[in-house]
Chains A and B, each alone.
Chain A
Amino acid sequence: MQEARILQLVPYVYNRAPLTRHIWDQAGVHPDDIKSLQDYKDKAPFINKDTIREFRDNNSDPFGGLCCVVQPHLKGIGFTSGTTGDPTPVPRAKHTLSMLDLKRCFWHMGLRPKDYFINAMFTFREGQTADRCIEADFKPINFCYKPSEVVPRIIEASLKYRPKVFFMLSTPMVTAIEKYVRDRNIDIKEAFASYQGAVFGGEMLGDSMRQRINSWGLEVYEYTTLGDVCGAMQCSAHDGMHAWEDLALVEVLDPDGSEPVADGEVGELVVTALMDDVAPLVRFRTDDLVKITREPCSCGRTHARFWPLGRKGDQIIVRGKSILPRDLLPIFQTQAETSSGLFQIILRSREADILELRVGYDASVTGDPAELKSRLLELVSNGMEVPVAIDLVVDDELLKLGPPQKIPRVTKS
């Protein structure tokens, strides 16, 4: 099926997407050269975020040469989060793949026709999508993502409609629920008793955060992006993210080359959108470092599973040791003052002699910031085995640096 879809995709996108034509012509590759899936893997040139931005800037094309359609098929424009810069426009049709994969995930979690689910997506980049659930008869209860304001309403909705899925949790939402429950002595397990599961996404989930959510009686399903083609979520086995290989061709390649890495080895996720006719990404190097396995899951599914490790650009080498944000999160989440896990790596250059961090703390539970700093310095330097410098900042100040649900994990200053 993947081969059939690739052979259909290649001439379609070459004839419509200016970036693809430009890149393929530059590489001396023509759709006629692609007669099999293996041909595609051997010959198709790569694109990445820089290629798209460069094409966008050089050609005054806001879509970076990706868009294959015009009105009436082009219905709307979504956007990337803008965490690291100017939000990138993403053209879209009336129906989007993100809802298709979500509905599959919700079904796996136990959502059935006529069931309600909490829809508090922390980004609102594709407009209203409630009518995209009609054919599945899944009923969203919509909330805006202002955790401290909506938590009482979410609890009220949980008791009134008895929803089955909570979509979705991130650190600010978890913190807001904890604070609300603590201040009012609410039986949160009873309020959340109807849920089959809660989705956590948009950022890393450490063990400490998972345990905090589990303590409410919620099973947590981690959710991530499959290289901006669609989403990918854990199944009930919680053993890797399930890719949807009918929606995307998934490759994991040497981060510095084009050869595939073996299962279990660290590589860069490279994706091709198989079902997107509006702006398909074709051999897109995502910058995401992952491990992958093609072994069938114990849940019975056979598509690839992967484990996100971090972004290639987020990696810092301190005295020869590779460190990613994911390595640091568990350390901060074990301390009450920094349990929100808000921190940044100061990446002045990819290689450094000292690990510089900006760490957020909850002032309401911090007695002596100097003592906290000294404790964190010891924990991080022992954990990472490198010299460390820490700049402590209150959580609220750090949150101003990014969209409401997350902050850039790596910054130059």
Chain B
Amino acid sequence: MTTTFKPGRNEPFVVSSFLDAGKYEFLPFSQPEQERAQGFITAMLSTFHFRTGSHLLVLSQQDTVNHFLPIERAAMDYGLIVCNADDSMFDVRRTESILRRFDVTAAVAVSGEVLDGLRDSGFDAAELFRDVVVWAYPDAAARLDSENVRQFMVLGPATALECQYRNGLHLDPREWLVECVDGEILLTSKQPRSMDFEGFATGVKAELHQGVCACGNTGPRIVLK
């Protein structure tokens, strides 16, 4: 299948970026997309029971707005207090400071680079994230190796994350048609967007698990090989 993405009909309010076969492309992003993505994240948060007023540590960069704006706004509406740090080894002092000072109930999205930075600065990441639900990129998830860890991934324009039940990565089933062709995950957008996708090759090798998840999500789940 040929990878395609082309401008859609929605008026963007921000321009973000996504990776296509190792090359960055611009991703215009619209309000309806933001609202739908926020709804999906709210559903994911709701599979846990995070206490109102506890803190969510969000590790991100400014150019990942289409992934992290929905997360931040969903968390705020859910009742969590959002603390931000850069997804960078240069900002691990702030990450450590947040984990030390605040009642952090969950963290998203911990990367291998942040774990490297914490280690190089003399911090014990396993201890810092103890008792914290951690959404981690696959490389970091393997290193943390704790039952509190859930996988988190960026697949081109889409955000994928595990729910409480750790049955594989969910994508918003209203937003994306997910297929597995020759072992690679392909995405097709199902709703009007500022950038439409058809058979977008994510470069992610995985299996698709069908069936209803324990959390109630009926979409296919991505299980990494």
Contacts and interface: CB of A to CB of B under 8 A. Distances in A.
Contact of A157 (B26, B52, B55, B93): B26
A412 interface: no
A74 B81 contact: yes
Nearest to A118: B15
Report the interface size class on chain B: 35 or more
Contacts of B97: 79, 82, 86-87, 89
Interface string B56-69: 00101111110011
B20 to A, nearest CB: 13
A144 B61 contact: yes
B166 interface: no
Contacts of A142: 14-17, 62-63, 65
Nearest to B84: A127
B50 to A, nearest CB: 12
A354 to B, nearest CB: 32
A75 to B, nearest CB: 5
B165 interface: no
Interface size range on A against B: 35 or more
Interface stretch (A131-139, A214-222, A246-254, A280-288): A131-139
A71 B17 contact: no
Judged by DSSP, the binding face of B is mixed
B51 to A, nearest CB: 10
Contact of B94 (A82, A128, A157, A161): A82
A75 B81 contact: yes
B61 A77 contact: no
B76 A161 contact: no
A82 B26 contact: no
B68 to A, nearest CB: 6
Contacts of B79: 71-72
Interface in A159-195: 160-161
B84 A78 contact: yes
B90 to A, nearest CB: 6
B84 A76 contact: yes
Q: Is the interface of A mostly helix, strand, loop or mixed?
A: loop
Interface in B1-57: 12-17, 24, 26, 31, 34, 52-53, 55
A157 B97 CA distance: 35
A78 B65 CA distance: 17
Contacts of A74: 81
A76 B83 contact: yes
Contact of A134 (B31, B58, B63, B84): B31
A139 B63 contact: no
A78 B52 CA distance: 19
B83 A130 contact: no
Contact of B90 (A130, A150, A404): A404
Given A71-B52, A142-B16, A142-B63, A77 B76 contact: no
A348 interface: no
B159 to A, nearest CB: 13
B81 to A, nearest CB: 6
Contacts of A160: 26
27 contacts: A71-B79, A77-B81, A77-B82, A77-B102, A79-B97, A82-B93, A82-B94, A82-B97, A86-B93, A87-B97, A124-B84, A124-B86, A127-B72, A127-B82, A130-B13, A130-B14, A130-B69, A131-B14, A133-B13, A133-B14, A134-B31, A139-B15, A144-B64, A150-B63, A153-B24, A160-B26, A403-B90
Given A77-B55, A125-B84, 12 more contacts: A71-B53, A74-B81, A75-B82, A128-B68, A139-B14, A140-B14, A142-B62, A143-B62, A150-B63, A153-B24, A157-B26, A161-B15
The 5 closest A-B pairs by CB, nearest first: A144-B61, A130-B14, A76-B82, A141-B15, A128-B69
